Amino acid sequence: MLAPYACLPEASRGRRHDEGMSTFRSPFQRDRDRIIHSSAFRRLKHKTQVFIEHEGDYYRTRLTHSIEVAQVARTISGVLGLNTDLAECVALAHDLGHTPFGHTGEDALARLMEPYGGFDHNAQALRIVTKLERHYAGFDGLNLTWESLEGIAKHNGPVTGPFADKKHEGPLPYALAEVNADWDLELDTHASAEAQVAAIADDVAYSHHDLHDGLRSGLFTEEDLMELPVTAPAFEEVDRLYPGLEKMRRRHEALRRVFGRMVEDVIHVAQNRLEAAQPKSVDDIRHMGTTIIRFSKPLYQELKAVRSFLFHRMYRAPSVVKMRTEVTAMLDDLFPLFLRRPELLPEEWLSDIEAATDDKQLARIVADYVAGMTDRFAIQEHGRLFG
């Protein structure tokens, strides 16, 4: 039984292009399946999470990260009586707009696109699912439900209005503005609880797996984690229960306890907040003026210390910074070249290029192409075009 504040499939606001109901699947299950079968989702297999895709087969990619986020989202939403299919859908789609080379690639493309309206990976995900995926005869994009589009747009909170984060000040990213102009996503309200679950599942997943990948890479050690909140108690418990445990098992046992604590904390806080607020519908969730799904204040503060550690020891490690410099230079070469010589783009892009009426439209087409590249394809293209 779904809670009264869950997104009910039968109450969906529908799709931009009417298709009728599926015989076997709910609207949100259908959305999820379309995302999984999309070209953009497959390309996440070869896109950076932290380490460049070719640096090793062990490290997470955007695809494995998205799958882990979806697993966490299903668990939390199931306990809370939410619609697990919608939570999974938003989780699987949340990184579709990422460039090659992770946030480094996004920073580079945002800088290069600054004269043409900028670039934002969340807005780009909407552009992908509403325009760039072109497989269906009746429409561009995936024709997702309003609730799925809302979740992609607002899973991190309102984008406009009094409750929006200050980082959203200024004009809307063009990709988001275009979608919202076509179909009002109510950007000044919070998203559904399912979308909020997907957002916090993202935090849980990367906080957990970045510790795993950082240890595997040798950028820090278990002894370093014994100095941090959250991780130190987990290792101490494992050492008490399993003295002398082999290194890799000890690591896994400790970090799965960190993972479990985060998930349990989110569930406990959400249950308390929902009990206090007594929302009667999903619209009550949207208009609460605050998020209903969050970490407790004590755990949030402890995780800030862990993230600060990861920032300095992993995200800004000399080897990672060196690679950041190299891949930024690649995009600084590729984007201007394609802008000068758009005929270098594949044949299926040429009709869009011919239809562009000004430099801004052309730049956005080039940005769509570059953002869609995988790490290894961008490296290969740079080698082919620049030697």
Q: What is the mean pLDDT of residues 65-91?
A: 98
Quote the pLDDT of residue 310: 94
User: Which of 333, 348, 375 corresponds to the end of one domain?
Assistant: 333
The separation between CA 185 and the C-alpha centre of its own chain, rounded to angstroms, equals 19
214 and 344 in a common domain: no
Its domain, for residue 359, covers 334-386
Q: What is the sign, positive or negative, of the torsion defined by CA atoms of 151, 155, 160, 163? A: positive
Q: What is the mean pLDDT of residues 30-57?
A: 82
238 and 375 in a common domain: no
Kindly report, residue by residue over 183-207, the tens digit of the pLDDT: 999 999 999 999 999 999 999 999 9
Kindly report, residue by residue over 328-347, the tens digit of the pLDDT: 999 999 999 999 999 999 99
d(CA 103, CA 61): 13
Burial of 313 (0-12, 13-18, 19+ CB in 10 A): middle
- Classify residue 17: in a domain, yes or no: no
Quote the pLDDT of residue 54: 46
| Residue 5 pLDDT exceeds 90 | yes
3 and 40 in a common domain: yes
Q: What percent of the chain has pLDDT over 70?
A: 98
Quote the pLDDT of residue 50: 66
Average pLDDT, the chain: 95
- Classify residue 276: in a domain, yes or no: yes
- Classify residue 15: in a domain, yes or no: no
d(CA 280, CA 141): 33
User: Which of 300, 316, 333 corresponds to the end of one domain?
Assistant: 333
Structure tokens at 149: 């589009």
- Classify residue 12: in a domain, yes or no: no
165 and 308 in a common domain: yes
What does the DSSP 8-state code read for residue 145? B
| Residue 95 pLDDT exceeds 70 | yes
Predicted TM-score (pTM) of the model is: 0.95
184 and 130 in a common domain: yes
187 and 237 in a common domain: yes
Kindly report, residue by residue over 264-282, the tens digit of the pLDDT: 999 999 999 999 999 999 9
Q: How confident is the model at residue 53 (pLDDT cuts 50, 70, 90)?
A: very low
> Could you tell me the CATH number of the domain that includes residue 84?
1.10.3210.10
338 and 326 in a common domain: no
206 and 307 in a common domain: yes
- Classify residue 14: in a domain, yes or no: no
Q: How confident is the model at residue 21 (pLDDT cuts 50, 70, 90)?
A: confident
- Classify residue 16: in a domain, yes or no: no
- Domain total in the chain: 2
Which has more confidence, 387 or 121? 121
| Residue 354 pLDDT exceeds 70 | yes
380 and 292 in a common domain: no
| Residue 152 pLDDT exceeds 90 | yes
- Classify residue 245: in a domain, yes or no: yes
Quote the pLDDT of residue 60: 83
223 and 343 in a common domain: no
Q: Where are the beta strands (DSSP E) in 12-78?
A: none
User: Which of 317, 333, 349 corresponds to the end of one domain?
Assistant: 333
Quote the pLDDT of residue 58: 65
341 and 313 in a common domain: no
The interaxial angle of helices 146-154 and 27-36, nearest 10 deg, is: 60
310 and 183 in a common domain: yes
Structural contact between residues 190 and 231, judged by C-beta atoms closer than 8 angstroms = no
Residue 224, CA distances (Å) to 220, 251, 258 in order: 6, 12, 15
Kindly report, residue by residue over 211-259, the tens digit of the pLDDT: 999 999 899 999 999 999 999 999 999 999 999 999 999 999 999 999 9
- Classify residue 35: in a domain, yes or no: yes
